[in-house]
Amino acid sequence: MPPPVISNDLTPQTMQPHAIRLSLLFALLGCCLLALPAVAQLTPEHVAMMQSVSQAQVSPDGQHVAYTVNVPRDPLVENGSTWRELYVLDLDAQEATPYITGEVSVSSIGWTPDGHTITFLARREGDASTSLYGIAVGGGEAAKLASAPSAILGYDWHPEGTQVALIAREAEPAPANSFSSYQPTIYEERQRNRAVWIADLTLDAPARNLGLEGSAYDIQWSPDGTSLAVSIAPTTLVDDRYMLQRVHVINPTTGAVMARVENPGKLGMVAWSPDGQHLGIVSAADINDPKEGRLTVVPVTGGATTDILPDFEGHVEQLVWDDAETIRFLASQGVGSAYGTVKHDGTDLQWLYEAEDVGLGTFSVPAERTHTVFVADTPQHPNEVFRLMDGSASAERLTDVNPWLADVQLAPQEVVRYAARDSLMQEGMLIYPLGYQEGTQYPLVMVVHGGPEAHYDNGWLTSYSMLGQMAAANGFAVFYPNYRGSTGRGLDYSKTSQADPAGKEFDDLVDGVDYLIDRGLVDPEKVGVTGGSYGGYATAWLSTRYSDRFAAGVMFVGISNKVSKVGTTDIPNEEYHVHARHRPWDNWQFFLERSPIYYADNSTTPLLIMHGEDDPRVDPGQSHELYRHLKLRGQAPVRLVLYPGEGHGNSRSASRYDYTLRSLRWMQHYLQGPGGEPPPPQLATPVQIEMTGSE
β pairing state of 350-355 and 215-221: unpaired
Residues 655 and 649: their CA atoms lie apart, in Å, by 10
Would you say 393 and 490 are in contact if contact means Cβ atoms under 8 Å apart?
no
Residue 171 has φ and ψ, to the nearest 5°, of -65, 155
- CATH 3.40.50.1820 in the chain, residue ranges: 409-672
Please answer whether residues 91 and 387 qualify as being in contact, where contact means their C-beta atoms are separated by less than 8 angstroms.
Answer: yes
Q: Which positions ≥6 away from 593 have C-beta within 8 Å?
A: none
CA 439 to CA 391: how far, in whole Å? 44
- β-bridge mates for residue 371, sequence order: 389
User: What is the torsion angle, in degrees rounded to the nearest 10, for the CA atoms of residue 453, residue 106, residue 4 and residue 630?
Assistant: 0
Instruction: Give the Cα separation of 565 and 587 in Å (integer).
Output: 15
Secondary structure E strands in 60-151: 64-71, 83-90, 95-100, 107-111, 117-122, 131-136, 143-146
DSSP 505-518: HHHHHHHHHHHHHH
Cβ–Cβ contacts within 10 Å for residue 370, how many? Answer: 11
Residue 521 contacts residue 494 (beta carbons within 8 Å): no
Q: How would you list the strands of the sheet with 52-58, edge to edge?
A: 52-58, 64-71, 83-90, 95-100
Cis ω before 403 (30° cut-off from 0) = no
Q: For the chain, which ranges sit under pLDDT 50?
A: 1-2, 7-38, 689-695
SS3 630: helix
* Backbone φ, ψ for residue 631 (5° rounding): -65, -40
113: left (phi over 0), alpha (psi -120 to 50) or beta: alpha
Task: Report how far residue 33's alpha carbon sits from residue 309's, in angstroms, rounded to the nearest whole number.
Answer: 58
Q: What is the pLDDT of residues 531-556, one digit of tens each?
A: 999 999 999 999 999 999 999 999 99
DSSP class of 687: -
> 52-171+192-312+364-404 in CATH: which number?
2.120.10.30
Residues 7, 640 contacting (CB under 8 angstroms): yes
CA–CA separation, 194 and 191 (whole Å): 9
Contact 150, 129 (CB under 8 A): yes
Residues of the chain with CATH 2.120.10.30: 52-171+192-312+364-404
* pLDDT confidence of residue 180: 83
Those residues with Cβ within 8 angstroms of residue 489's Cβ, 6 or more apart along the chain or in another chain:
313, 314, 334, 455, 482
Largest CA distance in the chain: 75
Q: Which amino acid is at 79?
A: N
* Residues 434/357, Cβ–Cβ less than 8 Å: no
Long-range contacts made by residues 182-189, C-beta under 8 angstroms, separation at least 24? Answer: 188/237
Residue 688: per-residue pLDDT: 54
Alpha-carbon torsion angle 266, 269, 271, 277, nearest 10 = 0
Residue 595, Cβ density class (10 Å: 0-12 exposed, 13-18 middle, ≥19 buried) = buried
Query: CB of 426 within 8 A of CB of 482?
Result: yes
| CA dihedral of 585, 591, 595, 597, whole degrees rounded to 10 | 50
φ and ψ of 122, to 5 deg: -165, 155
Question: Which of 431, 334, 331 is CA-nearest to residue 380?
Answer: 431
Half-sphere exposure of 346 (CA within 13 A, CB side): 13
- From the number of C-beta atoms within 10 Å of its C-beta (0-12, 13-18, 19+), residue 373 rates as buried
Q: Report the alpha-carbon distance of residue 15 to residue 78 in Å, rounded.
A: 10
Sheet holding 315-321, edge to edge: 315-321, 326-333, 336-343, 350-355
Report the 10 Å Cβ neighbour count for 29: 12
151 burial type by CB count under 10 A (0-12 exposed, 13-18 middle, 19+ buried): middle
> How would you classify residue 338: left for phi > 0, otherwise alpha for psi between -120 and 50, otherwise beta?
beta
For domain 409-672, the CATH architecture is 3-Layer(aba) Sandwich (3.40)
Q: Measured between alpha carbons, how far is 493 from 634 in angstroms, rounded to an integer?
A: 40
First CA to last CA distance, the chain: 32
